Amino acid sequence: MKRIVFQWIATGLAGFCLIPWYMTDSGFWRFRWLGDLTLSENAPALLQVLLHGRFWLAGALIALVAAAIVQIAVKSPVRAARFTAAIAAAGLAWTMLQGLIIVRSGPRLFHDLLANTPAETGQIGFGAGAAVTLLGLLFVLTTAISGMGRGRGDAFVTGMIGLIVSLVGIFVFYPVVHILISAFQTRTGLFDLALFISRFFDPEIWGIGCLIGQGGCGPAINSLILAIATGAGTTLLGLAFALIFTRTQFIAKPLLRVLSVIPIITPPFVIGLALILLFGRTGAATELFSDIFGIEKSRWLYSFWGIYIAQMLSFTPIAFLVLIGVVEGVSPSMEEASQTLNANRWQTFVRVTLPLMRPGLAAAFLLGFIESLADFGNPLVLGGNFNVLSTEIYFSIVGAVANPARAATLAIVLLALTLGAFLAQRRWVGTKSYATVTGKADSGVHVGLSAGVKWVCYLAALPWAAFTAIVYSMIIFGSFVKLWGYDHSFTLEHYIRAFGTKIRDGVLKFSGVAWDSYFTTLKIASIAAPLTALVGLTTAYLLVRQNFRGKSAFEFSTMLSFAIPGTVIGVSYVLAFNFPPIELTGTAIILIVVFVFRNMPVGVRGGIAAMSQLDRSLDEASITLGANTFTTVRRVIAPLLGPAMVAALTYSFVRAITSVSAVIFLYTAKHNMATTFIVGRVENGDYGLAIAYSAVLIVTMLAVILATQLMLGRRRLRRETRIEATGTTGARV
């Protein structure tokens, strides 16, 4: 343990003595700060203390030096670990508190005590030096905790738990608290619990008029009904697609996979626009049905049904991406054993296959449920008079009369619904074992579907795939016409304006108006996607493979950012990270961070579903052969998580490109994103260019998805060849 502690002490000292403590105007990676480290804006913490009188920064140095002395002087490993943990915790607490107290406009607290000192002028936000120093202190603390016997004495496990908890605390709880705290405040700024309770149980929020035939329901009931319907529908459709893709000989599997995944790579308001042009009052399908069948034109699309159809189109791919790995992970040996005991294919599917997929089904439903609750784009375009929590929160923030207290209260209501779904999912899955992938040889092949199940899957999935194709053909069609819905003459004008190029002086110039936001979006999404997958799957490993105090609360906290509408996340990030100690507003970092922690739950839920099928004996065998936990994760667990990794990378990349609700508060002219550019064009009535840009984004993301799957390959859990058309067995190799 001492060797690891000294490594992290050295890391912390390097951050304190060599790297600028505060944010630099020119950015860290340009290294312009190397020109003169004595300047106040460039100096590391050691020079800040010695040259600029910022004595309060010395707390971190004292903690690091004291931890090193304890490791050298105290002979008892357990006592040394206890003292080191206490010192590192004190150093972390001091550094964070001084950052919160001493700000640019002067200290918030202890004004008289710090008057006439360098602290009176305040300080700017933490930079790279502070980040490295705090990271060193954090891992000194977690390593010392493992030395005390916690976490089975595994420094890697305790370190990962400490890191994930810290990241979730900083980038989820810290910003959310800034906006939710206003739910308990009166207009004068005082706290009133009774006022919050009256706001929370307001009949306008929880009205059930639609259920008893007395008008409409409140946004909470509307959101709950919609979320349950969407979660159930997307899970069933996703399962049907996964079964067709893995258990049948359907000849058009590549096309089916494209059609099942393509909705996830589309900006949500584009699906809404396509549905309006199909089923709106003057839509193509509405006109056709009116002319042929005499059906009266109506505005039925602007209601529950319009949002529901759009959400089914948008979120079914999430369920499919989660469930395809789960379906592949069911051991064929168990299915063959069922048939050996005289069960037919239907009985095997119902009594063996489905129960083993329970964690995946629960994860898919929970993701669909939460996605529906947090969805903003579809209800905004198609909601009409059907109010849901996400749009109500948005209008409470940006409406004619801003009401942040109501927005915060509605956000807490949304969190309560999410917590209820989370607990219900935990109860349904239970504590049973679903492991089907062990260290034993397994060369079987999956049992074919019964005729009834196969045709149910076909009848559910294939019409939906055809409907998806029609919706997307409308989008493609609209990008090649002059004015969608009015002038359908062919043109390439929209693509030329957006992505035109010119050659000047032998150099290729990107002259289109969309190139800047396009390249910025790809760069930020490419950075955020692997980070999201890494954090999500690491968290899933800790939840499935490790037992520690507060595990349930930790699991729910990882879902928190997913449950809150993007509008709330965007506003809370502006409020939290617009001033010291963490100033990120206006930088690309804040966009990367919001994407990572907004999309992390997909990696977590997919990883949990996939890892629940990996028997612990695989870990134990690796450790028995001398590997440590990190090596076991890298060489045994990670290669078996191919589908979950593909799902996390795919989803996080496309969400970083298609997200709009949070980004609209965080982007700047320097870091303009594709969705905000498209929204701006839509607001200006330039629908052709907006649709053309969306079509280019769809093609780009589809290419990235296919490339990701080719690079990561297909997880092979056993030797297998094919499923015979008749059903129960397959040829062995």
The one-letter amino acid code at 645 reads M
The model's pLDDT over 605-618, given as tens digits with 9 standing for 90+, comes to 777 777 776 777 87
- Determine contact, residues 185/170, Cβ cutoff 8 Å: no
328 against 470, higher pLDDT: 470
325 against 512, higher pLDDT: 512
Q: What is the pLDDT of residue 254?
A: 81
Q: Which two tokens stand for residue 377?
A: 């784009």
Q: What is the pLDDT of residue 222?
A: 93
Phi and psi at residue 343, in whole multiples of 5°?
Answer: -85, 145
The model's pLDDT over 623-635, given as tens digits with 9 standing for 90+, comes to 888 887 888 887 8
pLDDT band at 732; cut points 50, 70, 90: very low
Q: What is the pLDDT of residue 105?
A: 62
Q: What is the pLDDT of residue 108?
A: 58
Highest mean pLDDT among 3-12, 584-593, 704-713: 3-12
pLDDT for 716 beyond 60 = no
- Determine contact, residues 581/126, Cβ cutoff 8 Å: yes
pLDDT for 323 beyond 80 = yes
pLDDT band at 45; cut points 50, 70, 90: very high
- Classified by CATH at the fold level, domain 501-703 comes out as MetI-like fold (1.10.3720)
Length of the chain counted residue by residue: 733
The model's pLDDT over 547-606, given as tens digits with 9 standing for 90+, comes to 777 777 787 777 777 667 677 788 788 878 888 888 888 888 999 999 898 888 777 877
Residue ranges covered by each domain of the chain: 2-148, 205-432+444-489, 501-703
- pTM (two decimals): 0.76
The model's pLDDT over 101-122, given as tens digits with 9 standing for 90+, comes to 887 765 556 666 666 677 777 7
Bridge partners (DSSP) listed for residue 413:
none
pLDDT band at 438; cut points 50, 70, 90: very low
- Determine contact, residues 484/478, Cβ cutoff 8 Å: yes
Helix residue ranges per DSSP H, 248-298: 253-261, 268-279, 284-293
Over range 320-349, report the average pLDDT: 77
Q: What's the CA gap between 221 and 210, in Å, rounded?
A: 9
Q: What is the pLDDT of residue 731?
A: 38
The one-letter amino acid code at 458 reads Y
Q: Which two tokens stand for residue 569?
A: 């996340």
pLDDT for 437 beyond 60 = no
Q: What is the pLDDT of residue 562?
A: 66
414 against 46, higher pLDDT: 46
The model's pLDDT over 473-511, given as tens digits with 9 standing for 90+, comes to 877 887 888 876 677 788 999 999 999 988 887 788 888
Q: What is the pLDDT of residue 727?
A: 43
Q: What is the pLDDT of residue 113?
A: 63
Percent of the chain with pLDDT over 90: 19
265 against 524, higher pLDDT: 524
Q: What is the pLDDT of residue 445?
A: 61
Same fold, 205-432+444-489 and 501-703: yes
The CATH number that domain 205-432+444-489 falls under is 1.10.3720.10
The 10 Å CB-count burial string (b at 16+, else e) for 229-249 is bbbebbbbbbbbbbbbbbbbe
Over range 646-656, report the average pLDDT: 79
Q: What is the pLDDT of residue 226?
A: 95
The model's pLDDT over 217-276, given as tens digits with 9 standing for 90+, comes to 899 999 999 999 999 999 999 999 888 888 888 888 887 777 766 776 777 677 877 888
Q: What's the CA gap between 346 and 139, in Å, rounded?
A: 52
The model's pLDDT over 63-96, given as tens digits with 9 standing for 90+, comes to 999 999 999 998 888 899 999 999 999 999 999 9
pLDDT band at 47; cut points 50, 70, 90: very high
pLDDT band at 50; cut points 50, 70, 90: very high
The model's pLDDT over 152-205, given as tens digits with 9 standing for 90+, comes to 778 888 898 899 989 988 998 888 888 778 788 777 767 888 888 888 898 889
The model's pLDDT over 128-144, given as tens digits with 9 standing for 90+, comes to 999 999 999 999 999 99
